[in-house]
Structure 1
Amino acid sequence: MARDVILIGGGHNGLTCAAYLAAAGLKVTVLERRAVVGGAAVTEEFHPGFRNSTASYTVSLLNPKVIRDLDLARHGLKVVERRMANFLPLDGDGFCVGDGLTQAETARFSARDAERLPTYWSRLEAVADVLRELVLVTPPNLVEDGWAQAAPDLLKSVAIGRRLTRLDLTAKRDLLALLAQSVGDWLDGWFESDPIKAAYGFDGVVGAYASPYTPGSAYVLLHHVFGEVNGKKGAWGNAIGGMGAITEAMAACCRARGVEVRTGTAVAEVRTVKGRATGVVTEAGEVLAARAVVSNLHPQLLFRTLVDPGVQPTDFAERIGRYRSGSGTFRMNLALSELPRFTVRPERGDHHTAGIIVAPSLAYMERAFHDARANGWSQAPIVEMLIPSTLDDTLAPPGAHVASLFCQHVAPELPDGRSWDDCRDEVADLMIATVDAHAPGFAQSVLGRQILSPLDLERTFGLVAGDIMHGRLSLDQLFSARPVLGAGDYRTPIRGLYQCGAGTHPGGGVTGAPGHNAAAEILKDFRRRRI
């Protein structure tokens, strides 16, 4: 079979890239190591009769253009919005965030904060709109290849500059603050009460192994607010059938466009001849040739395990080696006999459809981070719980439920040489007890559990150091510098080898944007006969 492209890794960005390439007439083969496509966006049975999103667990950042272009609705995707955005059980009280709720809820703690909320929303949205425009833009990649090569990137830089000049001075100042400040400093400048700062501050540490007072964490908040659900900006929702419904729809689109999708096919080597990628060798020893190879893997997995170091520029290889990962994440799926009854809100209600956040203040989040750094995990952890079966009855038997627990902070590597294989159950018990403290009886309702430590996330899904973002969203690892400066346009120093994963712009989350953007650049090179 004559192939144009071999794509390594059948996660959502790989499938997105493959679908675009196939739509342009290229012959594409996707190779997935696991028995199922989807990467970290999969739905699997983890306890008899109970199915859930195994790793990634909620929808907002999936780009609407990708949804339209791949016709995901026709291929079975349906996303429903949460009926409440967030619920924070506090000591003796509860705090709700959602349409028509947030201001009144905030006013119970601070009239000043409630009054400031509309201005906060409008100013954050102004900056988020800029980010939305840049999500599907390939970053400029100015390199020392002469004016002919540099001219397109210079023009691209000018176009991006024009986007930014449309912001008024206030928005420009806000953008600078959100890129450089900590989320704690950003929110402390706006609000005085703990609950609203905790509700918004969680978005600044989710998936980031950092304190809310770590510089740059404000951008992590911004990264989590540029999405939408069914046209509603900033909303979060559930995919009916779990996150695997997204990648199943993508795979169906790929197959309809003629993509060959092979599961259970791990790649052992990217073949190169005279500095050019020519195909791959599978772990079974099969040699597959193609005009181009595209990797959906974490950048370090690609360059440190699959590509011959001898064909990599020295400085590039060194910087890939220093690329920083680790999101301090401990992921669990629980089979529940019943819904939790929170002390502050024991009745069944919309709060059960929300992101339920156990983290009452920024100070609590800061202690959780420093405790994890010192001891391996926090004894008072941050836990976000979603109960998707409240919106999707396909996941659990009648009357029962499934819960997703996204827990922080835990150290990607434990101190004193301990292994996560030895501590996994102890930490899982702690996470369940943390929820049980606010919902007595919760622990007794657990019928079964699936536990994914940072080590499990790396082994199962290729998330290096358990990093759900494929690399930290720090200023030195964003836009043109993701994964490293000079390789920010989805191309690599090796001709014919490309990247399309979350280790490229715009980063992590189930967006499809890196796959979309990489496909556009690959198609340019095919048209210009640069491959």
Structure 2
Amino acid sequence: MSRYDAIIIGAGHNGLTCAAYLAMNGLTVKVVERRKVVGGAAVTEEFHPGFRNSVAAYTVSLLNPQVIADLDLAGHGLRIVERRAQNFLPAPDGSYLLTGEGHTHQSLAKLSERDSLEIDAFNAELETIADVLRQFVLRAPPNVVEGVSLNTLRESFNALESGAILRRLSLEQQRLLLDLFTLSAGEMLDDRFESDLVKALFGFDAIVGHYASPYAAGSAYVMLHHAFGEVNGRKGRWGHAIGGMGAITQAMAASARSHGAEIETDAGVREILVENGHAIGVTLDNGETLRGRYIVSNVNPTLLYTRLVPQAALPAPFAKRIAQYRNGSGTFRMNVALSALPSFTALPGAGDHLTSGIIIAPSLAYMERAYQDARQFGWSREPVVEMLIPSTLDDSLSPPGAHIASLFCQHVAPTLPEGKSWDDHREEVADLMIATVDRYAPGFAQSVIARQILSPLDLEREFGLIGGDIFHGKLTLNQLFSARPLLGHADYRGPLKGLYHCGAGAHPGGGVTGAPGYNAAQTVLRDHQRIFL
């Protein structure tokens, strides 16, 4: 029986981040991964001969710069390049919005003079709030605890420090922060802008991974969540990892191994071993048992507490609350091999816009209809599609003259109505997604050589994303900050001694950030020091 200081369940980017930090601080670390490759949802694979792409996670912005530096990801081969334009939104009437340096105001001049003046102010306001909230990303939120103890005192100081950070905002900025946490994105955007395309630009960020209307209360926070990012020190940017998202996790794995961590793939966990309220090890699918002082989970909290931890070991109040944890982001993913680049009616030919995030969702009303359709029928008749063509920035992904595209599609119901199965309808919905792009870029459908389809059910089976939830749980107010995943467990500690959370189901939530992995590692290291120093 092998023994380690820490056993990490899942070699996704947060699990690898946590492993690297623990190993570089002298702990013996074993990472076990169910799939045959490391990376979790941030992985690059060949889906058609000669064509590789980021299979699930598909773009870079939220990856924390401190994690990049501490793990020396560049030294382990990671290279990130910025898009030459940020976003391109074509409209059915032939108009369009193109954003990014040298593009935004030129494009807006044709749409709305008022919005051209307003967009910089709005971006600046979001950046001010995001800049303050970035200070909460690499720290545990105040944990809600009962009674009077040293832990209560510690969390009280944490809450005071958090309050001091927020007090740096002016009163007007605090009002904006309150609005961003409670209002709908639609309300805020309708008040600020007149152009449908400008509203759609920001509104799209409010529904990414969020199965809801842009007019749903709290959707403004999801919009803010996507404003935290940066690429190569440039805030608010989006980029591409050369070699795809798997290049990030390959570099993380190399970093962890360089510090002595062991990583084993094709090693799914059957059960977490519990004795007298302590998590003490894991049993693998092959029957092997591993023992560890700290069992750190990078899987969705629902999976962790319904499939891996014995139900009899859980405190009854916790078991009841975690059963109410909400998943399901309404996501449908496709990767397509193309014989040629698409040409959009609104902006024909090649250009910087093809390196951007191409958003097919020309208005908030379009997004609203997409959500209502999905609730009623199971998928949108006119879906929201973001298409990236990473081969415009990275020629290692496809043969010369050919290209690959990522399609991130919403809305679709995590579970189809009337007892229907995604296995029976995935091809039909994939046809719809291709046809949607083809309406804006005629000839696109004919250029498709091959396609990889991931329905919500496929995403759950392959990557453990419950209901296709890319964030390991909804980003709603009752599942954020001190309430992620549950009140009383925001400190990365589970309800059993020795059990920890390091995945996106912990603060600060979803996206390829590395932040939950970093924060969980700091918690484990503090506990380790209290025991052994």
Segments of 5+ residues of structure 1 without an aligned counterpart are none
Aligned equivalent of 1:211, options 183, 193, 213: 213
Per the alignment, residue 474 of structure 1 pairs with: 476
Per the alignment, residue 265 of structure 1 pairs with: 267
The 3-state SS of whatever aligns with 2:442 is: coil
**Does residue 3 of structure 1 match 2:26?**
no
Per the alignment, residue 223 of structure 1 pairs with: 225
Per the alignment, residue 90 of structure 1 pairs with: 91
The 3-state SS of whatever aligns with 1:488 is: coil
- Deviation at residue 118 of structure 1 after TM alignment: 2.2
Per the alignment, residue 426 of structure 1 pairs with: 428
Per the alignment, residue 387 of structure 2 pairs with: 385
- Deviation at residue 142 of structure 1 after TM alignment: 2.6
Per the alignment, residue 199 of structure 2 pairs with: 197
Aligned equivalent of 1:371, options 370, 373, 378: 373
Aligned partners of 1:189 and 1:159: how far apart in 2? 33
Amino acid at match of 1:163: I
Does the aligned pair in 2 maintain the 1:216–1:475 contact within 8 Å? Answer: yes
Aligned equivalent of 2:326, options 319, 324, 327: 324
TM-score by length of 2: 0.99
Per the alignment, residue 298 of structure 1 pairs with: 300
**Does residue 243 of structure 1 match 2:222?**
no
- Deviation at residue 460 of structure 1 after TM alignment: 0.1
Aligned partners of 1:530 and 1:512: how far apart in 2? 27
RMSD over aligned CA atoms reads: 1.0
- Deviation at residue 302 of structure 1 after TM alignment: 0.6
Alignment of 1:482-493 (within 5 A): 482-493=484-495
**Does residue 12 of structure 1 match 2:13?**
yes
The 3-state SS of whatever aligns with 2:149 is: helix
- Deviation at residue 192 of structure 1 after TM alignment: 1.3
Describe the superposition over 1:54-81 as per-residue Cα deviations: whole angstroms up to 9, x where unpaired. Answer: 0000000000000000000000000000
- Deviation at residue 151 of structure 1 after TM alignment: 1.0
- Deviation at residue 94 of structure 1 after TM alignment: 1.9
- Deviation at residue 99 of structure 1 after TM alignment: 1.5
Does the aligned pair in 2 maintain the 1:334–1:402 contact within 8 Å? Answer: yes
Per the alignment, residue 57 of structure 1 pairs with: 58
Does the aligned pair in 2 maintain the 1:142–1:154 contact within 8 Å? Answer: no
- Deviation at residue 259 of structure 1 after TM alignment: 0.5
Aligned partners of 1:466 and 1:529: how far apart in 2? 39
Alignment of 1:326-341 (within 5 A): 326-341=328-343
The 3-state SS of whatever aligns with 1:448 is: strand
Aligned partners of 1:469 and 1:355: how far apart in 2? 20
Per the alignment, residue 458 of structure 2 pairs with: 456
Does the aligned pair in 2 maintain the 1:336–1:403 contact within 8 Å? Answer: yes
Alignment of 1:94-243 (within 5 A): 94-243=96-245
Aligned partners of 1:107 and 1:366: how far apart in 2? 27
Aligned partners of 2:101 and 2:196: how far apart in 1? 20
The 3-state SS of whatever aligns with 1:316 is: helix
**Does residue 410 of structure 1 match 2:417?**
no
Does the aligned pair in 2 maintain the 1:327–1:472 contact within 8 Å? Answer: yes
How many residue pairs are counted as aligned between the two chains?
Answer: 531
Amino acid at match of 1:387: I
Amino acid at match of 1:241: G
Describe the superposition over 1:428-464 as per-residue Cα deviations: whole angstroms up to 9, x where unpaired. Answer: 0000000001111100100000000000000000001
Describe the superposition over 1:172-207 as per-residue Cα deviations: whole angstroms up to 9, x where unpaired. Answer: 001000000111011112111111000111000011
Aligned partners of 1:107 and 1:484: how far apart in 2? 47
Per the alignment, residue 521 of structure 1 pairs with: 523
- Deviation at residue 309 of structure 1 after TM alignment: 1.4
Per the alignment, residue 312 of structure 1 pairs with: 314
The 3-state SS of whatever aligns with 1:437 is: helix
- Deviation at residue 149 of structure 1 after TM alignment: 1.4
Does the aligned pair in 2 maintain the 1:103–1:117 contact within 8 Å? Answer: no
The 3-state SS of whatever aligns with 1:269 is: strand
Aligned equivalent of 1:509, options 490, 511, 517: 511
- Deviation at residue 107 of structure 1 after TM alignment: 2.9
The 3-state SS of whatever aligns with 1:409 is: strand
Describe the superposition over 1:490-518 as per-residue Cα deviations: whole angstroms up to 9, x where unpaired. Answer: 00110000010000000000000000000
Describe the superposition over 1:217-262 as per-residue Cα deviations: whole angstroms up to 9, x where unpaired. Answer: 0000100011100000010000000000000000001111110100
Of stretches 246-255 and 308-317 in structure 1, the one that deviates more from structure 2 is 308-317
- Deviation at residue 15 of structure 1 after TM alignment: 0.1
Aligned partners of 1:506 and 1:50: how far apart in 2? 34
Does the aligned pair in 2 maintain the 1:331–1:405 contact within 8 Å? Answer: yes
Amino acid at match of 1:49: G
Aligned partners of 2:51 and 2:125: how far apart in 1? 42
Aligned partners of 1:499 and 1:118: how far apart in 2? 38
Amino acid at match of 2:469: D
Aligned partners of 2:171 and 2:111: how far apart in 1? 31
Aligned partners of 1:142 and 1:315: how far apart in 2? 15
The 3-state SS of whatever aligns with 2:192 is: coil
Per the alignment, residue 33 of structure 1 pairs with: 34
The 3-state SS of whatever aligns with 1:528 is: helix
Aligned partners of 1:118 and 1:459: how far apart in 2? 42
Aligned partners of 1:142 and 1:345: how far apart in 2? 52
- Deviation at residue 48 of structure 1 after TM alignment: 0.6
Does the aligned pair in 2 maintain the 1:17–1:518 contact within 8 Å? Answer: yes
Segments of 5+ residues of structure 2 without an aligned counterpart are none
Per the alignment, residue 286 of structure 2 pairs with: 284
Aligned partners of 1:142 and 1:30: how far apart in 2? 30
**Does residue 71 of structure 1 match 2:72?**
yes
Does the aligned pair in 1 maintain the 2:96–2:107 contact within 8 Å? Answer: no
Does the aligned pair in 1 maintain the 2:28–2:261 contact within 8 Å? Answer: yes
Does the aligned pair in 1 maintain the 2:3–2:290 contact within 8 Å? Answer: no
Aligned partners of 1:161 and 1:93: how far apart in 2? 45
The 3-state SS of whatever aligns with 1:124 is: helix
- Deviation at residue 103 of structure 1 after TM alignment: 2.5
- Deviation at residue 530 of structure 1 after TM alignment: 8.5
The 3-state SS of whatever aligns with 2:531 is: coil
TM-score by length of 1: 0.99
Does the aligned pair in 2 maintain the 1:359–1:382 contact within 8 Å? Answer: yes
Does the aligned pair in 1 maintain the 2:472–2:509 contact within 8 Å? Answer: yes
Describe the superposition over 1:6-45 as per-residue Cα deviations: whole angstroms up to 9, x where unpaired. Answer: 1000000000000000011000000000000000000000
Does the aligned pair in 2 maintain the 1:268–1:281 contact within 8 Å? Answer: yes
The 3-state SS of whatever aligns with 1:398 is: coil
Amino acid at match of 2:353: H
Per the alignment, residue 346 of structure 1 pairs with: 348
Does the aligned pair in 2 maintain the 1:380–1:434 contact within 8 Å? Answer: yes
